[in-house]
Amino acid sequence: MFPTTTIASYHEQLKQEQTSCEAAVLFYLNRIKQNTHLNALVHVFEEEAVQQAKDLDAQRKAGALLGALHGVVFTIKDVITYKAHPVSAASNMLKGFKSLYHATAVEKLLDAGAIIIGTNNCDEYAMGSSNENSAYGPVKNFLDIERVPGGSSGGSAVAVQANLCMISLGSDTGGSVRQPADFCGVVGMKPTYGRISRHGLIAYGSSFDQIGVLAHSVDDVASVLSVIAGADDFDSTVSSLPVPDYSDEIKQSSTKKPIAGYFKETLLHEGLDEEIKQTHLYFLEQLKKDGYEIKELSFDLLDYIVPTYYILTTAEASSNLSRYDGVRYGHQSTPIKEDLTEFYSANRSEGFGKEVQRRIMLGTFVLSAGYFDAYFTKAQQVRKKLYEQSQLVFKEVDVLLMPVSPATAFKIGEKSNDPVEMYLADIYTVFANLVGIPAISIPLFQHSNGLPFGLQMMAKHFDEVSLLRLAHEWMQQYGHKEQ
């Protein structure tokens, strides 16, 4: 019965009275207790979740109209606010802080009958690719506890991977949903920038940040997206385009066979693991054999995307994180310093971890008067070029394919002393955020080292329907096979 395969099968079991929401919550609570060594959760709302489950069971038995996510057990990344519950962005800066309001996505989950069982460990303020930058310590990959789960939504990916919940919400500024999904062998999707409200998502790089979904199946991602996407008065950057019923849409096959493309430079890149490269090439051949038109495209900006991403996101982060001064909330150093500058400095030096401090300094530097044009303005210009290129790409193809990460999950500690090496590994994920398009990682492949890796698929702005439909189709067709 548990773990469930999809929301639909769980709902069917509830309908047949073969199980209950309470049984679901108890199952996942038990899994959480058995797997505390993974360090994937920072808070568990045990009693509350059981009570919610009981209430939902009672409502269902009384014949009430059921929400789309009735009794679905979620965890949420520790950067998404849940009213009256702790949220800390995995930082000492916010330890002990409780949210004053619900994130819009959380409000929508709860309205649809979801149960939030806990919050997930992550990289501090979502800055990282390995979940090693957390005030709560690193998260362990369930498949090999000596390895990282990826980041920054590492706890969310592991919570799904190890069946500590059914579905998890993460956030993706430069790959933080897709890359941990890739390392853990689950599905991870970041929708178009502006598809889901960012209200209640702790900001890192506001023009990049999007909430994303991690799950075992594309169907579940589609069901959740249908609930949490859409207009919101609290976020002026969110789109008011109508929200399709994604789970219904993906059941209908596309009218014409989609055209897929890939940038040849991405597969030729020297940093890419040879086996990941060969698997992708083999997969492209397979697609051709199966009648898909595959276009090889050229992309001469590949080497610029990581620097552009890190200039713009650190600039935005330095501004976003200036609010944590310890005056109204946040860490306050004791004894309290008399001098105001010393007071700020002590609070922020003790509250923020090393990586966050590094990025604040980098961001402050690229925005500083003497360097603004050389770095920030230049990076904005590159971003514009990338945007224009992406528009051209999606005139030629329906879906753009790419690896998610140049390598499979690495050992804890292996890269933590070399931030630049860690940044460079974001080469395949930051494109989607720089241009704002939707992207998904699906766990199609297995490396000879025993670890999973995914295929990344991207589509044009707001074309989540085509993206999810094809991802769903390919999971059915090519998933769970030895490559």
> Using CB under 6 A as the criterion, which residues of the chain lie in contact with ligand GLN when the complex forms?
126-129, 152, 171-176, 204, 313, 426
**Calpha distance 483→269 (Å, rounded):** 21
Alpha-carbon gap, residue 301 to 427, rounded angstroms: 11
Structure tokens at 196: 């889901």
319 is a catalytic site residue: no
Residue closer to ligand GLN by CB (options 162, 356) is 356
- CB 126, min distance to ligand GLN, A: 4
Closer to ligand GLN by Cβ: residue 127 or 218: 127
Q: How far is the CB of 133 from ligand GLN (least distance, A)?
A: 8
Q: Mapping DSSP to helix (H, G, I), strand (E, B) and coil, where does residue 270 land?
A: coil
Min separation Cβ 320 and ligand GLN, Å: 12
Q: Is 333 a catalytic residue?
A: no
The distance of closest approach from Cβ of residue 127 to ligand GLN in the complex, given in angstroms and rounded to an integer, is: 5
Q: Is 5 helix (H, G, I), strand (E, B) or coil?
A: coil
Q: Which is nearer to ligand GLN, 49 or 148 (CB)?
A: 148
Residue nearest to ligand GLN (CB): 176
Closest-CA residue to 79 (of 46, 31, 128, 32): 128
| CB nearer to ligand GLN: pick between 209 and 232 | 209
Helices of type H across 321-452: 340-351, 354-367, 378-396, 419-424, 430-435
Q: Which residue out of 88, 129, 130, 152 is catalytically annotated?
A: 152
For the bound state, the minimum distance from the C-beta of residue 220 to ligand GLN, rounded and expressed in Å, comes to 21
Per annotation, catalytic residue among 88, 134, 168, 176 = 176
- Cβ closer to ligand GLN: 176 or 320? 176
User: For residue 100, how many C-alpha atoms fall within 13 Å in the half-sphere facing its CB?
Assistant: 1
Residue type, 355: E
Catalytic residue among 20, 77, 226, 441: 77
Q: Is 134 a catalytic residue?
A: no
Sheet order of strands, 260-263 included:
41-44, 115-120, 73-77, 167-172, 210-215, 187-190, 439-446, 452-458, 399-403, 260-263, 294-297
DSSP structural state of residue 82:
-
Instruction: Determine the 3-state secondary structure of 35 from DSSP.
Output: coil
The set of catalytic residues is: 77, 152, 176
